Structure formats: C-alpha cells, structure tokens
Structure 1
C-alpha cells in the first residue's frame, strides 16, 4: 500500500506540474517503487535534472508504436551521438582510410554496435532510477574510490576537450587560409563556447534542434566529399561486413585499436544517462518505464546509424583517394594546383600520413579548393558540437560525484582553462604537426579511461536492488 501511495503521489506531482510552451517544468525526481533505495544515503531525494524543464510525452494508450512518442523522446540520443563525431573520431577515420584502405570498416561497425549497447544501458539506468551514472556512483561507492573514479572521468573529459579545441583551431586556420593562426583559433574556441552554451535558455527542444543542425552540417559536408571522390561501393561493403584485414601489420592493428578508443568514449556514458532525465516519465508506472526504454533505444539506434554513416564517409574518402599514396605524389599534385601547403609533404617515397589539417590540404590539392573549405566546415561543426556536449558531461559528472553545484560559467571556465593551456602552448611554440599529433595520444588516453565507465554501468545495471525487473539478464 505504501508503494502504491508513493506512486500515486509522484504521478500527481507530475500531473500538477506547470506547463509552459509545451514543456513541463520539472520537479525533484524521487525514487519510485521500481528502484527502491538500498541504503540510508539513497533515501535522500535524487538530484534534480540539470535541465530546468522536462519534455512531456503524449499518451497514445492503444498503440504499440507511436511516431509522436518517438518524436517526444528524440533528442538525447542525437546529443549523445555527437561524441561519435568529434574531431578525434574524424582523425581516426581518415587515418584508417589512408593506412588500411577499406579493410577496417568492420572494426568501425563493431565499435559502433558495442557503443549502442552501452548507451542503451546508460539510458536504462537514467530512466529506471531517475539518476544518472555519476549520481548513482555517489550513492553506491565509498569516498576514496568515488573520488578516484571522478578524477579518471574528468581526465577523459579534459582529453576529449583538448581534441575538440584542436579541431576547431585547425578549422578556423583552414577557413581563413592561414590568416587566423592556430593559437588564435584556440582563443576563439574559448569565446564561442560560452556563447553557444547559453542557447538552452531558449528551451531544451531548441537546444536539441541546434545540435541536430550541426549534425546535418557534418552529414552534408562529409557526404559532399564522399560523392566527389566516389569510392568503390563494392569495396565499402566488403570492408564493412568482411571481418578480415589481408596484409595488415602493426600499423593497421594500432589503427584498429585507435578506432575503438575514439568511438567508445567513457564520459559519453555518463552524459547519456543524464540526458534521458529530460523527459517526463512516471517511474512508478512500469509500463511507462518500459516504453521509455524502448523509444530511447530506437532513437539512439537511429542517431548512431547517422553517425556511423558520417564516419564511413570519411574513411571511404581517404581509402579511395589516398590509400598507399606517397608524399612525393601529393607534393607534385599540390605543386601543380599551386597550393601554399606543398611543403607539408616532403619529396620522398614514404607513405602519406594524414591528420585533420593535412586531410583538408590534400583534398584541396586533388579535388579543388571547395573540397578543402567544405572539409573545414565539417570539422568546425564537429568541434563546436562536441565542445558543448563535453561541457554538459563535465557538469553532470561534477554535480553527480561531488554533489557540487557550479554555475555553467564557472564549470566552462575551469575545463576550458585546463584543456586550452597545453593546447595553446603547443599552438604558440610549435607547428600544426605537433598540435594534430596530440590527437593520437589523446585517443590512447580515452581507451585507458574506458574501464572507469564500463565497470560502473555494467555493475549498476545488473543490480536487481537498483533496477528490479530492468536489471541485466545473465
């Protein structure tokens, strides 16, 4: 009876919540009968969602599947998918194509599928418990391991942040034909991040639409390169579905590991478990919880399918056009087209090595200036979108692990300062080769931090005391 009473009370609170502009203002989330507290600490009210509003879900009682409901749940998955499209991923993609051709596309496909399964667990945790992963860690772990876990996740966020800053700085440099130096691009990234982060003041759905717009820009930009280069479709499908890498050696193996590290990012699991709290769900109603899990999974699958296609565009472009190309071949072509970047490619027969910066240059040399500028626009969209979602991740992680409330301004200032200081020093005192070279190290760093997200999410979603009927099966 007590459980029923709690469920009715919670439903009443949600029902009586004020609605403004089609969005229900959130009230503090409480444990429902589905996720009973397991300790005195857990009996406190769960932390309220970071967003100040919740999106209402239409009530289509008699429908097995509703596009209206899917639309209501659409948003968190696409914000989550941006981490699969950050500059670190793009660099991993183009290097994969240039070093291994189409042979590692199956690794990209496998990593994306594994990522989808992990994101499904993250979303389920947030829906069932009403708390995101960092909040659950705060309640379940003792102080010392909790602090260690927090530091490791923060390190992953800072590493990702550095990749995004590097990507934006390179994009500004390419778009300005070198007039904006790399250090100038780094400083611009600091300013525009603050501007974009205040977009959610205009409403959660508008913020989600803006992220969707940035993903569309990436799809159009890299899709244009794909159509322009026109890769062999048979080779694309063969590389995607034939899990074999003929003639591959240590270089290709290292690249395969880099793909996994770039695609599955630890802080993204924390982010997704928090974003799903932005929907109005009565956690006392098992049917609603089950339905929310279903629609969030469908939305995540669609979002990651889109991100996978964009990644395939990049891999295929560089596999078709630049696999096994030598420096001297590229140098001669850049000379022929009058490119100012010819000196990036020494006159030797070594295999071409590309990064985000060189990738744009070689596209410009072989396919015209438009290819270079469109590439830079895609990189800029990738950097800007992932910068914002990275900041949200940091906010959720800090608030969850430490139960600490910082203003968005203070949080961005701290993470930006930590990420930008080493990046700015390299940009000032070194050249673009050293700046882009940091991406390889940062991808390895992401791989090393992965267990600090995998272990908690697998552990907590397997606890019947926390998840009840929604715990992972054996």
Structure 2
C-alpha cells in the first residue's frame, strides 16, 4: 500500500501496482473539443450528471415523499430542497476527485486505506447498492402490476432483463446510455407536470413550503419523515458512480483542461440534480394537493397513492401517468445501479470480469430477496422491504461521504485543486448533519 503523501495528481507513482482506469471499456471515449464556444464544451460534458440524478428520484424516494405530503402538506418541501443542495455539493466533490486524480472514489479508497478497511468499505458499499437495487426492482414490479396487472413476483423476475439492455447500449457507446436516461427523466417530468396540472395545488402554500419551519424539529413524527426524505435523497453509491463516469470524457490532462472539466462537470451535475429536485418535490406536492387536502393523512404506500389518484383527480389519466412515471423511474435507476456495481467491485478489489456477468450478479443480489419476500409475504412484505432498503442506505452514506471529503481536502492528493477552506468547512458541516440525522433515524427505527 502506498503512502498517502505520495499521491500527487501529476505523478502516477501513487497508484497501486496494476491499477487500471475506471470503467476501462468507456474510459476517455468521448472527445471534448479543445476549441469552440463554452456551450459546445458544456454539451460535450453533459450526460454524467443525469445518470447521477436518477439515483435521487428512484422508487425508494417515492414512499417518503408521498407520506410527507399526505401527513404534513407542503411543509417538508424545504427538506427536499436542503437535501438536494447537500447532494449538489457532494456530487461536485465526487466529480472533481475523478477528474483531478483519474481515480474513482472506490479506487482512491483502495490506494489510501489498508486491505481490511478496503474490504469492509467494499462490503458496506455492495450492501448499499443491493439495497438501492432492491428498491428499484420492487418499484418496477409494482409499476408493472399497477399498469398491466402482472403479479409482483413475475414483475420482479422481468426486471432481470434490463441487464442485457445496459450491456447492449454500453457496447454501442456510453452516449446511448446517457441518452436513454435523459429521455426517461423527461418522461417522468412530463408525467408529473401533467399530474400537478390536474391536482391544482395552492401556489402560495406550495412556495411557503420551501421555507424551513421550526415544526420540522419540534414535531417528532415530522422530524422522522424529514430524516427519511434525507436518507432517501442523498445516495451513497452515486458518489462512486459520478467519480467514475466523468472520466468518460477525453479532456486535456493539463491544469487548464482539468479546471474546465471540473467547471462543466459541476454545471452538468447541478442542473441535472435540479431536475431530481423537481421530481421529488412534484411527488410531495401531488400528495399534499390530493391526499392531505382530502384529509387522507394515512396514505404512505405507492399502491395506495395509485388507487386514490383517479377518484381524487377526477380522471383515470392521473393514475396511469403515476404508474408510467414509476416504471420509468425504476428502469432508469437500475441502469445506473448496475454501472455503480461494476465500478465498486473493480475499484475496491481490482477484480475484472465480463460486464454482463458483473451486472447479472448485481441484479440477482437484489432480485433473489425480492422474489422470496414477494412469494412469502406478498405486497405488504415488499413495502417493508422498501423501508428496510432506505435504512441500509442511510447507514452506509457516512462511509462514502467521509472518504470523499477527506480525499478532496488533502493537498497531497489534489495539488492545486484541493478544496478551499470554505468548501472544507461546508462539506464537513454537511457530513456532520448527515451522520447525526442518520444515527437518529437508525435509533428511532430500532428503538423508538
């Protein structure tokens, strides 16, 4: 293991022996023009941020957003906004780490920590990816059940097929995956814009909801839901993903080239994350404008929301659009989840295997428990499994955030690109909030 002090972004000697690029099959495969307008360069970088953003709008977020809107109206919109701002900062740091060092977060951990620590971090990350994948599998299966009447257990099995979709698209080029993800994001957005039109929310109350209220802290139930929203919004595996996929761009390996790459990659992820903010806010807004307004404060499950939207909105289109958006969300998240699985295994362990085999393993880790629980406990069991997946994600988040801030704040690793003091302070403040709230969530879940 090399000493951390030897890690210099301008010197490859700090790399582990035999180190390979992250996602070697697409590494530096997309050319960035050296000349031309800023718009042309930005468009060359646009894409990775949207792959990251889908993790912030996956089916695991839906239940907490629905419950928050039904119980407390628009009040928790401020929590969604704050969570999103935290995500913007952390994803910007992840992108910078990948661009400057040429290492994704998993590889950087492997270079820096001892082997037992690396194995521990890898196991925790695999658990988080499996938990996130579980939420996506169940979300897609619920959507197939609601839209087409396909039994949940068959819907879960069908989701295995998207492994081959990812493989096909990646063989054609990374831009194809990015394009599909962006199309699905805009599909989800269009569905929710239409839903909001039918729901007719109270705009003054809606905008007031983005202003933090003291009630969030003083009301234990509201605080619990708020922490659940935070835990479901800031996804740990997305930090590994972003630090890798920014390296698909072939930018100049100079100080100026890296500064430009950091700037455009940060713009890309920030803009994409505001799409995720809109999606999550839209789910809560629709829940508040329909269920809370009608006095149905106990709506907490996706299936309940689907069944109740048609009579409350006065049109069957409402429920259909909700189901289509859920299906698009689940499929979108599985595309990026399988990529994250490959990045984590290759980064932590330096194990290379066929892309289709790695993705199949990742998918089966999520599908097998989902099939068992669905077969044994039915729909109620899948709801409990969704909740469990979010708790696991909350637990693992700190183990990704702390190394990320530590590495990007270390001059021996980042050189001239090290975090300035204000970014260090802000990042550690965010980390402390995340760690504190997640410890509280875990305590309340098991003992409260």
Q: TM-score, normalised by structure 1?
A: 0.83
Match of 1:310 in 2: 279
Q: How does 1:172-211 map to 2 (within 5 A)?
A: 172-176=144-148, 178=149, 180-211=150-181
Asked if 1:267 is matched to 2:213, the reply is: no
More off after superposition, 418-427 vs 310-319: 418-427
Give the Cα–Cα distance (whole angstroms) in 1 for the partners of residues 378 and 151 of structure 2.
Answer: 10
Unaligned runs of 5+ in 1: 1-30, 328-350
Asked if 1:126 is matched to 2:98, the reply is: yes
Give the Cα–Cα distance (whole angstroms) in 2 for the partners of residues 44 and 192 of structure 1.
Answer: 32
- Whether the aligned pair in 1 keeps the contact of 2:63 and 2:302 (CA below 8 Å) is yes
Give the Cα–Cα distance (whole angstroms) in 1 for the partners of residues 337 and 136 of structure 2.
Answer: 9
1:226 deviation in Å? Answer: 1.0
Instruction: State which of 303, 309, 314 in structure 2 corresponds to 1:357.
Output: 303
Q: Deviations over 1:158-200 (max 9, x none)?
A: 0000000010000000111x3x111011011112332344212
Q: How does 1:10-25 map to 2 (within 5 A)?
A: none
TM-aligned CA distance change 1:325 to 1:430, over 3 Å: farther
1:353 deviation in Å? Answer: 2.6
Instruction: State which of 242, 251, 256 in structure 1 corresponds to 2:221.
Output: 251
Match of 2:358 in 1: 411
Asked if 1:73 is matched to 2:65, the reply is: no
SS in structure 2 of the partner of residue 240 of structure 1: coil
Bigger radius of gyration: 1
Match of 1:169 in 2: 141
Asked if 1:432 is matched to 2:379, the reply is: yes
- Whether the aligned pair in 2 keeps the contact of 1:36 and 1:465 (CA below 8 Å) is no
Structure with the largest fraction of helix: 2
SS in structure 1 of the partner of residue 11 of structure 2: coil
Give the Cα–Cα distance (whole angstroms) in 1 for the partners of residues 92 and 307 of structure 2.
Answer: 38
Match of 1:59 in 2: 34
1:34 deviation in Å? Answer: 3.8
Asked if 1:95 is matched to 2:67, the reply is: yes
Match of 1:232 in 2: 202
1:43 deviation in Å? Answer: 6.5
Instruction: State which of 333, 343, 364 in structure 2 corresponds to 1:396.
Output: 343
Asked if 1:111 is matched to 2:86, the reply is: no
Asked if 1:462 is matched to 2:409, the reply is: yes
Instruction: State which of 356, 378, 395 in structure 1 corresponds to 2:325.
Output: 378
Q: Deviations over 1:315-367 (max 9, x none)?
A: 1010111117556xxxxxxxxxxxxxxxxxxxxxxx42321121111112322
1:48 deviation in Å? Answer: 4.8
1:373 deviation in Å? Answer: 1.2
- Whether the aligned pair in 2 keeps the contact of 1:104 and 1:245 (CA below 8 Å) is no
Match of 1:21 in 2: none
Give the Cα–Cα distance (whole angstroms) in 1 for the partners of residues 41 and 351 of structure 2.
Answer: 34
- Whether the aligned pair in 2 keeps the contact of 1:357 and 1:436 (CA below 8 Å) is no
- Whether the aligned pair in 2 keeps the contact of 1:100 and 1:248 (CA below 8 Å) is no
Instruction: State which of 372, 393, 397 in structure 2 corresponds to 1:446.
Output: 393
Match of 1:213 in 2: 183
Cα RMSD for the two superposed structures: 2.0
1:246 deviation in Å? Answer: 6.8
Q: Deviations over 1:374-419 (max 9, x none)?
A: 1111000000010110000000000000000121221122122221
- Whether the aligned pair in 1 keeps the contact of 2:66 and 2:299 (CA below 8 Å) is no
Q: Deviations over 1:46-77 (max 9, x none)?
A: 4253343521111237x6xx110110000100
- Whether the aligned pair in 1 keeps the contact of 2:110 and 2:347 (CA below 8 Å) is yes
Give the Cα–Cα distance (whole angstroms) in 1 for the partners of residues 24 and 266 of structure 2.
Answer: 22
- Whether the aligned pair in 1 keeps the contact of 2:66 and 2:287 (CA below 8 Å) is yes
Give the Cα–Cα distance (whole angstroms) in 2 for the partners of residues 133 and 389 of structure 1.
Answer: 16
Q: Deviations over 1:125-158 (max 9, x none)?
A: 0000111111111111110000000000000000
Match of 1:320 in 2: 289
Give the Cα–Cα distance (whole angstroms) in 2 for the partners of residues 245 and 465 of structure 1.
Answer: 44
Q: TM-score, normalised by structure 2?
A: 0.88
Match of 1:138 in 2: 110
TM-aligned CA distance change 1:45 to 1:404, over 3 Å: closer
Asked if 1:47 is matched to 2:21, the reply is: yes
Give the Cα–Cα distance (whole angstroms) in 1 for the partners of residues 32 and 293 of structure 2.
Answer: 52
1:310 deviation in Å? Answer: 1.3
- Number of equivalenced pairs: 414
